[in-house]
Amino acid sequence: GSKPGDATSGLHKHLSPAVAHFSEAIADRGEGSYVYTTDGRRHLDFACGIGVTSTGHCHPKVVKAIQDQAAQFIFAQQNVFLGSKPLAGLLDRLLEIVPDQMTRFMFSNSGSEAVENAVKVARAHTRRNGVIAFENSFHGRTMGAMALTTSKTYYRQNFGPLMPEVYIAPYPYCLHCKVRQASPTGGDWYSVAPNIEPYSHYDARQCCNGPQEALTWLLKQQVTPGEVAAIIVEPIMGEGGFLTPPPNFLKHLRSTCDQHGILLIIDEVQSGVGRTGKWWGHQHLGDVQPDIMTFAKGIASGFPFAGIAAKSHIMENQPPGTLGGTYGAAPLACAAASATIDVIEEEGLLQNATERGLQLVQALLKLSKTYPIIDVRGRGLMVAAEFGNEEGGMTAVAGTASKVTKACAARNLLLLSAGARETVRFLPPLNISADEMEEGIGLFEGALADVFG
Ligand code: PMP
């Protein structure tokens, strides 16, 4: 084989530079919460392939399920066969964990495709065109999903024209406002670092009931409700910075949808499958049922797999042939997904995500007393820390988060940034141990000391 040095130059020369990579390391092997790279280093993985390797790297049960299935049948195409044994088995498992009314599924390979299919189904069912998405959102990089993505301009740069009939509403970004102050630390909605004065640095559209009022105005001023097929929302804003909306936000969206015959699409691609300590992130926000739900990432521990679940009446009249894709519902992916759900259940990983999340949040709140962390937020093991500046102000110097993530990488902790503001996000495996979490917190503290001195 080629030496690691050769591989590096080949990769640089032949891969599109448009696909950014956080580190120069070349992945070699993964085990549990650790990744080993060809330069001989061992990294503690708090990125998990952006929330994908939910059961850690190469969980033995997931590996065995994939190996066994590979020996049986690698591929059974969904347009050729009614299904496969692993697909039938997976449907049974999914029906146990998705919200009650979600009884029809359509499978694909990536979160973006799931979003595309959700929008297609919503438009076909309602015979309307409009889609409302939110500021800071990320729904994917394909043409349709990209038009719904507002977290960073460079995701769209030079790729237009965008899919039409998309309307963007503000999403709650409550930093230090009264609503958040009233919510005690340690509940399912973590509070701010205590050393910061309560104030909302953002305009009223993004705070408390502001987003609800803004949506009402959008439906009066930009698009009539009768032309809107769907509202698509992340129950915790993922790429946009792990924003945790107040509990009444989703209920308001649900009632707006009900009032106007609009479908509510909840994008659980990043927040789903136990990441937040419940099966689905929206389950933290009261008893709200989506009409269509997307999932991907953590569902199959790293095997490419995604899908949508919907209320039956929304999908059942869709004419045959109007949806599809070569690799959807592939047997290997179904086997990996079933094994993932088994592991999450058998090993009590919802509980572990909740407990380890609290361990992490408490440590971050403590660190906020020494370092310029102005906000700690999230649920379960979807946790973010946002930086201010060293003078105690709300606005961090541009590049702060990337300095911190680089300092973490130098200490062999894989940690990513998120959002257009200076925020780092913690996405460790759902089965991380208390000791590994402690190790990660220690590495993070060391990195903060490196950056802020
Ligand atoms: N929706 C959400 C909420 C996501 O976080 C992502 C990926 N970051 C996507 C959709 C797109 O998923 P994929 O990268 O698998 O296409």
Centre of ligand 1 from the C-alpha of residue 49, in Å: 12
For residue 401, what is the enclosing H or E element? Answer: helix 400-410
**pLDDT tens per residue, range 138-159:** 999 999 999 999 999 999 999 9
Counted residue by residue, the chain has a size of: 453
Residues 82-111 as b or e (16 or more Cβ within 10 Å = b): eebebbeebbebbeebbbeebbbbbbbbbb
Alpha-carbon distance of 144 to 122, in angstroms, equals 13
- Within 6 A (CB) of ligand 1 lie 50, 110-112, 115, 138-140, 234, 238-239, 267, 269-270, 296
Neighbours of 405 (CB within 10 A): 23
Q: What is the pLDDT of residue 192?
A: 52
ipTM: 0.99
Beta strands 166-169; 130-134: pairing state: parallel
Q: What is the pLDDT of residue 393?
A: 77
Centre of ligand 1 from the C-alpha of residue 265, in Å: 14
The token pair that represents 101 in the structure block: 């009314």
CATH 3.40.50.10470 fits 63-346, yes or no: no
Ligand 1 probe mutation, 131, 236, 269, most atoms within 8 A of CB: 269
Atom of ligand 1 nearest to the CA of 306: 15
- Look-up: residue for tokens 């590996």? 63
Centre of ligand 1 from the C-alpha of residue 350, in Å: 21
CATH code for the domain defined by 4-59+348-452? 3.90.1150.10
Atom of ligand 1 nearest to the CA of 304: 15
Tell me which residue has its CA closest to atom 12 in ligand 1.
Answer: 111
DSSP letters for 71-114 = HH-S---TTTSS--HHHHHHHHHHHHHS-TTEEEEEEESSHHHH
Starting at the edge strand found earlier in the chain, the sheet holding 423-426 runs 373-379, 382-387, 423-426, 416-418
Q: What is the pLDDT of residue 187?
A: 45
Centre of ligand 1 from the C-alpha of residue 293, in Å: 13
Decide if 434 contacts 359 (C-beta within 8 A).
yes
Ligand 1 probe mutation, 116, 139, 276, 308, most atoms within 8 A of CB: 139
Centre of ligand 1 from the C-alpha of residue 269, in Å: 6
Decide if 113 contacts 292 (C-beta within 8 A).
no
Atom of ligand 1 nearest to the CA of 297: 15
**Can you say whether the dihedral through the CA atoms of 385, 390, 395, 396 is positive or negative?**
negative
Alpha-carbon distance of 326 to 352, in angstroms, equals 36
User: Splitting the chain (453 residues) into consecutive groups of 10 residues, what average pLDDT does each group show?
Assistant: 69 94 94 97 98 98 98 94 97 98 98 98 98 97 98 94 97 70 48 49 74 96 98 97 88 98 98 97 94 98 98 96 96 98 98 95 91 89 92 86 98 95 96 98 98 94
Centre of ligand 1 from the C-alpha of residue 446, in Å: 31
Centre of ligand 1 from the C-alpha of residue 333, in Å: 17
| 3-class SS shares of the chain: helix, strand, coil, % to 5 | 40, 15, 45
Tell me which residue has its CA closest to atom 5 in ligand 1.
Answer: 270
Tell me which residue has its CA closest to atom 1 in ligand 1.
Answer: 139
Q: What is the pLDDT of residue 2?
A: 47
**pLDDT tens per residue, range 372-393:** 998 888 899 999 999 988 887 7
Alpha-carbon distance of 54 to 47, in angstroms, equals 10
Centre of ligand 1 from the C-alpha of residue 282, in Å: 16
Alpha-carbon distance of 77 to 137, in angstroms, equals 33
The CA-atom distances, in angstroms, between 77 and each of 62, 312, 320, 334, 421 are 22, 23, 15, 12, 43
